[in-house]
A and B are shown apart, each in its own frame.
Chain A
């Protein structure tokens, strides 16, 4: 891509909006996933019996089991949240950027 084109796109307010919104969103979701996962891992390392506590006095099912399942579902939901926003809002912005770039060629 020619340098002037690159500069033009970089100065396009749509591009700047796309980059800032997307990176904020992507990093927020990344940190959410990392925090949840590492909290789980560190609990296992430092306090495994927390996860080993039975859910109630007459059940053998431990806290860890619903926690584990919830983390799996959480990971899936996070991907869904990202894809929903990216496939609509971010792709709309990208389309605008591409249109402007084509007009300027």
Chain B
């Protein structure tokens, strides 16, 4: 999602806009509303189960909206519409890549996850394996993914808020960090879920209005919309551009998007908030619907921006034009949707969309922080350190401390990385999720002969490969470190790192002849029965 910052991040020295009053008012309304929700949620969050899974009583529909909300981040809304604005059809290719992981998750993973796990995906991965090594690896993979994702979100949000509300960058970052700490510490999963749901509703409504406004301009004829757009930017925008130029990159990106989604800890966590496998399935159905609809909207919005924002003097960045020529818009390509909201709805609607973008950022970083905190408290503290004998209240306390710590880390990183090129960071997060988290999770569910040793060695190899190939690849090695040519020629390492992971896990499992391994293979049957039927699974909590 923030991978799309690569298409032209909020660029240059961000000039703070003069304070936009309607934006500020709506932003304050939103913050007030969500703090109110947090207060409500705090009163209902008494146990660890409440904190991690909102008590397990979220419905399929609500969870579907929450999951979609997690997916429709500011980076996604602005980045994808920005990519469509810049390149046209390529934006749709990216969107589809993000979407198709969902059906796969539903068919292969969702129910088993809900049936086997309790709070975190490491519960499932380590179900019949030795807890300490698997939990440590899974928790590390989760925390790494979360921190990388948080860096991207914090930097993106700081710049966005600076641009939209006229706040200073550091103030913006601290503000986001503090609010996020409040939501999660006091409201846990219940607060973060409802903040996501409300935000998803507002975002979908706002985007729908924008798309309808754009189409109304063209008498609801897509042909006219596209015709005018091509007059502005040329016919190339209607075809695939250079986004995926060779088969290896194409397949590698596809794999990263599909399997990475199934390995993102903050998404997987949401599967434990519903009552049973049936609601888990419905969650994915609704989520896929909302997300698919959202991508169709961003496609229309991107084209709308080509027609109404491009070369429009109101949005032109004159300073940048003087240096680089062309017709750059204020704030870079990722601001296309924001400017479009002004073009179709004036200052008021711009204020609304800005507040929604802010809401989006807060909701996503909260979810991420909760996932990271639960990896620390449930996987590392309760399972690895306390060997499963932790007191529920103690575990919850550790979660809250972990949340505050992660929040502070996120603020510091956000400030430190302000001027860095962070485009590769979310790509790396997806690569780690696809190479370390997903293979262990998947094989644990489906392969009898998986052993602890195999999972640990194979998963670690996958993780190391992903990190190494990103460092040696064109983005870090050439663009950031300034070398001539990349040692690893592809932008997306997933094809290789995922392959290494699966092969490593397979090889080190079948060659494992220890007693532990035999016991683990034996235990598969019981796990399989539970994963298929839900007998013995965690139920919902009665309040």
Residues of chain A having any CB pair with chain B under 8 Å? 1, 3, 6, 9-10, 15, 18-19, 22, 26-27, 29-30, 33-34, 37-38, 40-42, 44-46, 48-49, 51-52, 54, 59-62, 64-65, 68-69, 71-73, 75-76, 78-80, 82-83, 86-87, 91, 94, 97-98, 101
Residues of chain B having any CB pair with chain A under 8 Å? 89, 92-93, 95-97, 99-100, 102-104, 106-108, 111, 222-223, 226-227, 230, 235, 238-240, 244-247, 249-251, 254, 258, 278, 281-282, 284-285, 288-289, 292, 295-296, 525-526, 529-530, 532-536
Q: Which 8 pairs from chain A and chain B are nearest by CB?
A: A52-B239, A48-B240, A26-B107, A45-B247, A45-B250, A62-B238, A68-B92, A72-B292
Per the bound structure, the CA–CA distance linking A40 and B533 in Å amounts to 36
**A52 contacts B285, CB within 8 Å?**
no
Give the one of A22, A41, A97 with max B CB within 10 A. A41
**B285 contacts A80, CB within 8 Å?**
yes
**A26 contacts B96, CB within 8 Å?**
no
**B106 contacts A82, CB within 8 Å?**
yes
**B103 contacts A64, CB within 8 Å?**
no
Query: Beyond A30-B108, A52-B239: 8 further Cβ-contacts under 8 Å?
Result: A22-B532, A37-B254, A41-B244, A65-B89, A65-B92, A72-B96, A75-B288, A87-B278
In the complex, what residues of A have CB within 8 A of residue B250's CB?
A: 41-42, 44-45
A91 to chain B, nearest CB (A): 6
A21 to chain B, nearest CB (A): 11
Report which of A26, A49, A64, A79 forms a contact with B288, defined as CB distance below 8 A. Answer: A79
**B282 contacts A87, CB within 8 Å?**
yes
In the complex, what residues of A have CB within 8 A of residue B534's CB?
A: 94, 98
In the complex, what residues of A have CB within 8 A of residue B89's CB?
A: 51, 62, 64-65, 68
Q: Is the interface of B mostly helix, strand, loop or mixed?
A: helix
In the complex, what residues of B have CB within 8 A of residue A52's CB?
A: 238-240
**B96 contacts A37, CB within 8 Å?**
yes
**B288 contacts A60, CB within 8 Å?**
no
Per the bound structure, the CA–CA distance linking A101 and B533 in Å amounts to 11
In the complex, what residues of B have CB within 8 A of residue A45's CB?
A: 244-247, 249-251
Q: Is the interface of A mostly helix, strand, loop or mixed?
A: helix
Per the bound structure, the CA–CA distance linking A98 and B530 in Å amounts to 11
**A101 contacts B535, CB within 8 Å?**
yes
In the complex, what residues of B have CB within 8 A of residue A64's CB?
A: 89, 92, 238-240
B450 to chain A, nearest CB (A): 17
Per the bound structure, the CA–CA distance linking A53 and B107 in Å amounts to 34
B106 to chain A, nearest CB (A): 5
In the complex, what residues of A have CB within 8 A of residue B254's CB?
A: 37-38, 41
**A76 contacts B281, CB within 8 Å?**
no
**B239 contacts A9, CB within 8 Å?**
no
